[in-house]
Structure 1
Amino acid sequence: MAAPLSPESTILIVGAGTWGTSTALHLARRGYTSVTVLDPYPVPSPISAGNDLNKMLEFGDIAGEDDKERYVSEKLLEAATQGWLNDPVFKPHFHETGCIIAATSEEARAHMNSKDGPSEAKGWIPLNSKEDFIATMPKGVLSGDFPGWQGWWRKKGAGWVHARKSMESAAREAERLGVQFVAGEKEGKVDGLIYEAGDVKGVRTADGKQHRADRTILCAGANAAALFEFKGQLRPTAWTLAHIKLTKEEAEIYRNLPVLFNIERGFFMEPDEDNHELKMCDEHPGYCNWLTDSQNSKRSSVPFPNHQIPKEAELRCRGFLRETMPHLADRPFSFARICWCADTPNRGFLISKHPEYASLVLGVGGSGHGFCHIPSIGGFIADAMEEKLDPTVKECLKWRPETAINRNWDGLQGRFGPEGSNRVMDFQDVKEWTNIQV
């Protein structure tokens, strides 16, 4: 049986990424006075998916396979929206510039235009020609031919958030409220959990120290599967991003652009005001890094950091630019990296007390759409710890290994990519990487 909770309860959070930092903030705001966050790196970690210039953010469109999933999506999105609009920790980092959603193939168009997709009734403007797309941005920004593109433009209720600054802001406020962040490749790196009397009593770090606690919250993102057996519920999956350096004058022209996202090609957002770098991603169903354990022949995707991207990803990025901004298509990349996340079988979050280990709480499974919830996701994780989750939310986000039985590990999970890359790829097959000097 887990120890009773009180404001003085000792709480360990494993991982100082998006969800770990959010959880620390929410616990501190609830009055917990002994919260410690462990991570090999200080916030923002160079390998955290949240350590990024910007992320897309869209309010209001709810998706789900059934009424329960739609209800949960609505609850999660409503809480995140309120955080971005009203929480002083996060509000300064939201830029309501609007967004453009587009697709090229018939299959992707059908997906985009499904009942949960954009429509004029929801305030979206249809885009059906090259001229329509070019007119969404200042003169000179878009100059491509947009071959086969069809899309939608939403001027309000969407935009982008500065991811890194949001994480830093959350960590500063959590620290101000008393949270202790322990970083370092030995003192902050968790090697394993402490199992005693049928429960989890804390963690061990690489320096040999035991950190014992009343509750242990696992928010380790794509690395969580290396610390705990998730019975197939998590698939570490990576995406690829790159930056292009703009001049100060160019950055001024590119200010306040709507996010442009083709669900088969990629996306870009306005350049950041500090370094004048424009971020883009090539779109695809993701990369795994499949390795086989020689002892049990079990195949698993093992995350690794790399501040380069496969050359094939660079070619996809440049192909996307040639269709939209050909004047930038051959400009050198100033930065690139792979970005890891953890997919659940249905891309629903896994936020739950563990059914067998009463003191272990799980906050994982961002599934490629976890960052926009940083203002509020820690509150749901805290609710799970305190056993206060809305019953429907609890049911949909629970520990659910039955959903991973006979899991299709190469499943696209509703994602698309260009011809030749419309599949889950394997880093083991990559022959050549970029060599960007930063």
Structure 2
Amino acid sequence: MGVSKTDSIVIVGGGAFGLSTALDLVKKGYTNVSVYEKDDHIPPRWSAANDLNKIVRAEYEDDFYTDLTIKAIDAWKTPLFAPYFHQVGFLHCVSGAAPQQATDTLNRFRASAERNSKIQPHVVPVNTEDDVRQACWQLDGPVTGWNGYLNRFDGYAHSGAALAGVYRAAQAAGVRFFLGEQNGAVDELVYVSTATAKKCAGIRTKNGRFHPASLVIVAAGAAAGRLVPQLGQNVVAKSWSVAHVHLTDEETSALRGIPVTYARDLGFFFEPDPKTNLLKMCPMGGGYINTDPKTGISYSPETLKESAFLPEADEKQLRQLLKQTLPSLADRPFVEKSLCWFADTNDSDFIIDYIPGMSDSVIVMSGDSGHGFKMFPIVGSFITDMLAAPGSQQPVARWRWKQPASQGKGDWGGDVSWRLGSSKELSEILPAKASKL
């Protein structure tokens, strides 16, 4: 059936997937594009990409995503995105106490980098503690038993600032934005029955207004399951924790240009941000879920306050990482602590497709699975490619709609090799006196 260049297209969500899609649509000639976002500013506080920075590393165990990320890195170097991309390298190691699963995963990532002709020249082996310090001389901790590799092809992106930059570009190109709890928060998708099928006719915002659309694209991140219950357990909300250390001007300057430093069994940190003097850190693990006992599906909490803490086990893990690498910071207080909720799938593949039986009227764009932001400059093209494909069918088979399976409460994504450990329920790790909705 298809959508014309002048038809009304509504995008639900002003995070990375929604913004990239809005910008790519107008670049491809679509003239009636609107974005609805429940926060009153962009970057939205609920977006997983509303963050200081995200890793941009090209090597995957799956060459399909390696090739996509190489394409994305080329796009990160174009004028709109280049101010936010920092190709400082990726120091990818395991500590001397790493479990075998961590070592095996690292070796598969290294093999991916070494077999790719574009990445391989940038890969440097790291076999000893001295090699670690050659890769990053600022690491003055013991780094006992650390080994792995340095990939200078990789780096990071200043994610929150990139969202703001693309928001400005999309506005200038003609995209309309509706922000805030009343005008931008989408309460429901509105469906109607036709003579031959059911279709989505538009959206209803929390102020009660109906907004008609020829096509609705749900790019709502961790909240996708609430708006599109047809997803079932194919996309669920999961989180990892984030914390920061506040540095002095001198400490920030001393760490300028360091590679993203990642001990696969402990966690990772970035070059500190020169504007805020914050050094961002993330532990690695199975993540956290928030299962609704009525549906068996994990949803993100309704309020930001519920996620504004650092689980005790994660704090211990990050302090161990600092003791190994930057011991002078190991006892520094953690600030701006939170759980970062994202849309997860069992296999870490995205879901970008029409909802079946809806007359090609609504698309789900979800399942970033904690690795999607690196595709920010190109992810919008995945939608326009699909709209231009024969029969508007998703040309990438692995991103097509999958019928939800009834699996009961599960450890979504637990079989993905790069995630160490099992997920835990939010209720199990909440600080004392806090409660789960």
1:301 aligned onto 2:298: yes
Deviation for aligned residue 1:434 = 12
Give the letter for the 2:107 counterpart: N
| Alignment length (residue pairs) | 413
CA RMSD of aligned residues (A): 2.3
Give the stretch that moved more between structures: 39-48 or 115-124: 115-124
Note the 1:19-418 alignment, pairs <5 A.
Answer: 19-41=17-39, 42-59=41-58, 61-64=59-62, 70-71=63-64, 73-74=65-66, 76-86=68-78, 88-103=79-94, 104-114=98-108, 117=111, 122-123=120-121, 124-138=123-137, 141-154=138-151, 156-197=152-193, 198-229=198-229, 230-293=231-294, 298-304=295-301, 305=304, 306-357=307-358, 358-387=360-389, 393-401=395-403, 404=405, 406=407, 409-410=410-411, 411-417=414-420
Deviations 1:72-98 (A, max 9, x none): x25532431221122x21122111111
TM-score (norm 2): 0.89
Q: Residues 7 and 240 of structure 1: is their aligned pair in 2 closer, same or farther, counting only changes over 3 Å?
A: same
Matched letter for residue 75 of structure 2: G
Distance in 2, Cα, partners of 1:428 & 1:289: 7
**2:89 touches 2:150 (CA, 8 Å); kept in 1?**
yes
| Cα contact 2:296–2:409 (8 A) shared by 1 | no
CA deviation string 1:84-143 (max 9, x = no partner):
122x211221111111111222221122112763666624222222222123223xx312
1:250, 1:389 → 2: CA distance? 56
Give the C-alpha shift of residue 409 in structure 1.
2.0
Q: Deviations over 1:294-329 (max 9, x none)?
A: xxxx32212023232223222221122112212101
**Residue 73 of structure 2 aligns to a residue in which SS?**
helix
CA distance in 1, matches of 2:314, 2:354: 38
Which stretch shifts more, 27-36 or 312-321?
A: 312-321
How many Å separate the matches in 2 of 1:300 and 1:5? 32
CA contact (8 A) 1:310 1:433 kept: no
Deviation at 1:389, TM superposition (A): 9.6
Contact 1:119 1:125 in 2 (8 A): no
In 2, distance between residues paired with 1:157 and 1:223? 33
Would you say the 8 A contact 2:232–2:297 is kept in 1? no
Identical amino acids, percent of aligned pairs:
32
Corresponding residue of 1:67: none
What secondary structure does 2:72 align onto?
helix
**Letter of the structure 1 residue corresponding to residue 188 of structure 2:** G
Contact map agreement 2:386 2:395 (CA 8 A) in 1: no
Q: Residue 227 of structure 1: CA displacement? A: 0.7
Give the distance between the partners of 1:226 and 1:43, measured in 2 at CA. 21
Offset at 1:176? 0.2
Structure 2 vs 1, CA of residues 270 and 389 (structure 1 numbering), >3 Å: closer, same or farther? farther
Kept after mapping to 2: 8 A contact 1:308/1:434: no
Does the CA-based 8 Å contact 1:412-1:424 persist in structure 2?
A: no
Letter paired with 2:298: S
Instruction: Provide closer, same or farther for how the CA distance between residues 345 and 254 of structure 1 changes in structure 2, counting only shifts above 3 A.
Output: same
CA distance in 1, matches of 2:126, 2:210: 58
SS at match of 2:135: coil
Question: Shift in Å at residue 193 of structure 1?
Answer: 0.6
- In structure 2, distance between residues paired with 1:389 and 1:6: 13
Once the two structures are superposed, residues 275-294 of structure 1 have per-residue CA deviations (whole angstroms, 9 ceiling, x without a partner) of 1111010111211012212x
**Distance in 1 separating the partners of 2:385 and 2:369:** 21
Structure 1 unmatched ranges of 5 or more:
65-69
Give every structure 1 segment of 4 or more consecutive aligned residues whose post-TM-superposition deviation is greater than 6 Å: 389-392
Contact 2:42 2:163 in 1 (8 A): yes
Q: CA separation in 2, counterparts of 1:332 and 1:394?
A: 45
2 CA distance for matches of 1:407 and 1:388? 36
**Alpha carbons of structure 1 residues 191 and 115: separation in structure 2 relative to 1, 3 Å:** closer
Cα distance in 1 between the residues matched to 2:417 and 2:433: 28
Separation in structure 1 between the aligned mates of residue 272 and residue 169 of structure 2, nearest angstrom: 26
Residue ranges of structure 2 left out of the alignment (5+ in a row): none
- Does structure 1 retain, via aligned residues, the 8 Å contact 2:233–2:297? no
Taking the aligned partners of 1:262 and 1:390, their CA distance within structure 2 comes to 42
User: Is the CA contact 1:236–1:340 (under 8 Å) kept in the aligned structure 2?
Assistant: yes
- The answer (yes or no) to whether the contact 1:311–1:434 under 8 Å persists in 2 is no
